[in-house]
């Protein structure tokens, strides 16, 4: 997989040194700013040209009717699409009556920089208008981590060569025209004019627009206020109407003089509050932002990120590009989740409307491990959002004739939005992923209050689902038939190994939780007898194994399927789902993304070392990675079985997924799960991190390309620093408290607070590296 690199390699920045109109969409996603509640795509300040305009509020969606071609019981009748809300980014500039538009006149220079430590997007341009006036434009924007409703821009205009008449128009725009849908089913469907006007007001230097959605009946308010500095007289005019509010500033500037404007934008939405209440909410947010001021917002942003990087930073010595890319990945994972607080973490975060802004199983499997170890408060909030949808999941389970809770495959509000049931409804493994995240968070964060409340609820109801979904066969094995595993090129399979192993862990974790919290469990009508039934099902879980080949089939019978003809598949035919019918894919041994390999990643305790090596080699030859979620898991297991150079090749693909636009769809929004997977590829892969109950296991090994890898993980509410070279690993328990025990390459090690321990890394000889389908190998980083 190849793409186009973003720009120069720098430790803490992403820099665009020359504006390329053909790549506007990619850079709009890359330069997006968000805090988990508000999201602004990296559109140009003046709004045009653009790839896709994008201003988002997490959870703000419109319903879309989804009439089936052939009605069937249990199919959802509507879907949910994250909408483009009122745009507060737009600042238009006219110089001597000529609009500043990069398509006209001469753009002498243009640079944008995403600062990963300051959390701001900087832009500087020098432009000669068609009439010959030369001006310099500077802007800096942020979406605040500390004031979650607030985004802000500082905009500055300066004539270079001669006196200029300058007009600045700062706008709020609702119901912007969006580009047409693409033919790619992974891209979002645009919702045109979803907002219905309710109120607007303009006064002094501020304005507000209030709307509601037509079908989902969600109410939205966006307000703006301004602070202006100028050496001369400035004329102000403010106006508002249904879908537009505008502040117009006009002045005359001499060369070297500057007009500087700070624009504060406040956002709010609600399903329940009245428009006067929402009005007051955004007005209050503006007042708080104005109190902090522009410099105050910048300082708060930097302080927040300093704390984040202190606990989440990864140091990669020996590959500057990967170092830069993994920081970029962590920054965007943070932006997708930090202030979500009761809302989902969409597959694209708040960077674009790919996948209609829906959340999938990606969150729990690829994002939550990062948050649990770096931003535990965001992990808790994401789990509490899932818990908040529990009643809908119980209702869905009953609709499907099952007990417990069946969480949706794709959703915004908690309702199932997938109309293709083989890939949606049948992919029950999302429930085990939620249970895995709940157990991991409770253990790593030592959050006993969560464990005894929301955590227990999630574990019990997902365990009940598995017990009702599966059944005992004549031989006494517990089977889970007719499900779809992580590999979306297979469907409706019996005993998918990943699903069964994750369900097994779910059942055991739920039984332990009921035993630890009998009082709360009683309120759920869960008791030791029911828990014993879960343990019995877990013990009898069917895990298929092909004795003839010595490997685990991805699902029962998979290794008997016909092989896919890779030699006859042209490179332009990838991804296969866009060029071949699912019927054909489902019948063949071709794997879209890690499935059995993912099972080995999360349940390595269930495989011998020989089985892991044989399984990995078998599925390498059949995995085409038509999903962005595969490379990180292949990196992790490649490292586990000792193929360190191959593991690092997959690390490169994982961290550069959006950086180099490897899938040629970054313009639809970033792949947040893949960015989380970049952290996992390094920490779980080369760092060898695994969780065994409340204990952490490490088996670090570095490829020849790297000199050092360092990272920090959480451990029962404490922090553990890990540094590895090719010869040794150093562990440091950073904060106080009692001693803890970890496992280093199979050996138990006791760590005392503040006392580093260095241990040798044993050598490994994994033999020849496995091969991939023709043309599907990762790009070598050696």
Burial class (CB in 10 A: 0-12, 13-18, 19+), 296: middle
- The catalytic position among 46, 158, 461, 488 is 488
The rounded distance, in Å, linking the Cα atoms of 645 and 650 is 9
Q: Nearest CA to 259 among 234, 235, 229?
A: 229
Do the strands 562-563 and 588-589 form a parallel or antiparallel pair, or are they unpaired? parallel
Helix (H) or strand (E) holding 288: helix 275-312
SS3 619: helix
Distance CA 271, CA 199 (A): 16
Task: Give whole-number Cα distances, 774 to 1, 564, 570, 639, 644, in Å.
Answer: 12, 12, 9, 22, 21
Provide the sign of the torsion angle of the four alpha carbons 249, 251, 253, 258, taken in this order.
negative
Q: Report angle CA 311, 315, 321 to the nearest 5 degrees.
A: 130
Please give the Cα distance from 723 to 213 (Å, whole number): 51
The SS3 of residue 701 is: coil
- Annotated catalytic residue 563: no
Nearest to 676 by CA among 330, 344, 345, 307: 330
Q: For residue 355, what are the contacts with CB-CB under 8 A and spacing of at least 6?
A: 186, 188, 346, 347, 348, 410, 669
CB proximity list for 583: less than 8 A, separation 6 or greater: none
In the three-class reduction of DSSP (H, G, I as helix; E, B as strand; rest coil), residue 235 is classed as: strand
Instruction: Please list, in sequence order, all residues whose beta carbon lies within 8 angstroms of the beta carbon of residue 192, skipping any fewer than 6 positions away.
Output: 175, 177, 178
Helix (H, G, I), strand (E, B) or coil at 13: strand
Catalytic residues: 488
């Amino acid at each position: 997989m190849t793409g186009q690199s973003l720009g120069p390699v720098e430790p803490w920045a992403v820099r665009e040194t020359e504006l390329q109109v053909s790549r506007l969409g990619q850079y709009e996603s890359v330069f997006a700013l968000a805090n988990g509640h508000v999201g602004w795509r990296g559109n140009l300040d003046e709004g045009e040209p653009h790839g896709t305009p994008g201003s988002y509020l997490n959870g703000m969606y419109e319903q879309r009717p989804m009439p089936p071609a052939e009605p069937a019981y249990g199919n959802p009748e509507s879907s949910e699409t994250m909408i483009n809300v009122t745009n507060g980014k737009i600042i238009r500039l006219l110089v001597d009556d000529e609009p500043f538009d990069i398509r006209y006149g001469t753009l002498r220079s243009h640079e944008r920089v995403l600062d990963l430590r300051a959390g701001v997007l900087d832009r500087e341009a020098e432009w000669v208008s068609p009439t010959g006036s030369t001006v310099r434009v500077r802007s800096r924007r942020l979406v605040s981590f500390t004031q979650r409703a607030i985004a802000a821009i500082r905009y500055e205009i300066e004539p270079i060569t001669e006196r200029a008449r300058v007009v600045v128009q700062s706008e709020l725009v609702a119901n912007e025209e969006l580009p047409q849908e693409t033919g790619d089913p992974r891209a979002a469907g645009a919702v045109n004019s979803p907002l219905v006007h309710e109120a607007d007001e303009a006064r002094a230097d501020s304005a507000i627009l209030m709307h509601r959605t037509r079908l989902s009946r969600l109410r939205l308010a966006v307000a703006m206020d301004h602070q202006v500095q100028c050496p001369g007289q400035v004329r102000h005019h403010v106006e508002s109407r249904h879908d537009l509010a505008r502040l117009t500033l006009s002045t005359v500037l001499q060369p070297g003089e500057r007009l500087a404007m700070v624009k504060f934008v406040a956002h709010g939405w609600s399903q329940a509050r009245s428009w006067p209440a929402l009005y007051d909410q955004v007005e209050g947010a503006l007042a708080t932002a104005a109190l902090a001021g522009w410099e105050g917002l910048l300082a708060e942003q930097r302080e927040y990120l300093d704390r984040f990087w202190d606990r989440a930073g990864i140091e990669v010595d020996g590959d500057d590009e990967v170092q830069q890319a993994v920081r970029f990945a962590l920054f965007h994972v943070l932006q997708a989740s930090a202030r979500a607080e009761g809302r989902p973490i969409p597959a694209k975060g708040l960077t674009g409307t790919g996948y209609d802004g829906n959340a999938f199983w990606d969150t729990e499997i690829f994002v939550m491990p990062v948050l649990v170890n770096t931003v535990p408060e965001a992990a808790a909030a994401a789990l509490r959002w899932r818990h908040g949808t529990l009643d809908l999941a119980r209702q869905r389970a009953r609709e499907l004739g099952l007990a417990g809770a069946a969480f949706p495959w794709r959703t915004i509000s908690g309702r199932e939005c997938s109309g293709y049931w083989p890939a949606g409804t049948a992919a029950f493994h999302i429930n085990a992923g939620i249970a895995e995240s709940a157990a991991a968070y409770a253990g790593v964060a030592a959050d006993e209050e969560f464990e005894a409340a929301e955590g227990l609820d999630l574990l019990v109801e997902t365990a009940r689902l598995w017990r009702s979904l599966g059944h005992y066969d004549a031989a006494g094995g517990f089977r889970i038939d007719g499900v779809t595993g992580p590999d979306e090129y297979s469907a409706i399979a019996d005993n998918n190994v990943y699903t069964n192993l994750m369900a097994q862990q779910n059942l055991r974790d739920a039984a332990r939780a009921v035993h630890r919290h009998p009082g709360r469990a009683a309120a759920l009508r869960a008791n030791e007898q029911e828990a014993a039934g879960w343990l019995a099902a877990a013990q009898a879980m069917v895990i298929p194994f092909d004795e003839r080949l010595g490997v685990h089939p991805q699902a029962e019978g998979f290794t008997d399927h016909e092989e896919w003809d890779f030699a006859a598949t042209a490179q332009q035919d990838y991804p296969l789902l866009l060029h071949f019918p699912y019927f054909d894919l489902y019948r063949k041994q071709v794997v879209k993304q890690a499935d059995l390999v993912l099972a080995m990643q999360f349940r390595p305790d269930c495989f011998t070392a020989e089985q892991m090596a044989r399984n990995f080699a078998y599925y390498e030859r059949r995995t085409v990675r038509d999903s962005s979620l595969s490379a990180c898991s292949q990196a992790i297991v490649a490292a586990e079985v000792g193929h360190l150079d191959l593991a690092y090749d997959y690390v490169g693909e994982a961290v550069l997924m959006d950086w180099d636009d490897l899938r040629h769809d970054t313009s639809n929004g970033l792949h947040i799960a893949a960015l989380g997977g970049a952290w996992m590829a390094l920490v779980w892969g080369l760092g060898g991190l695994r969780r065994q109950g409340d204990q952490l296991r490490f088996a670090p090994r570095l490829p020849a390309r790297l000199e050092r890898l360092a990272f920090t993980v959480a451990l029962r509410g404490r922090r553990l620093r890990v540094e590895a070279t090719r010869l040794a690993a150093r562990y440091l328990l950073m904060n106080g408290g009692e001693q803890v025990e970890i496992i280093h390459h199979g050996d138990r090690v006791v760590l005392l607070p503040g006392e580093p321990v260095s241990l040798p890394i044993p050598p490994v000889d994994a033999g020849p590296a496995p091969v991939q389908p023709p043309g599907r190998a990762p790009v070598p980083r050696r």
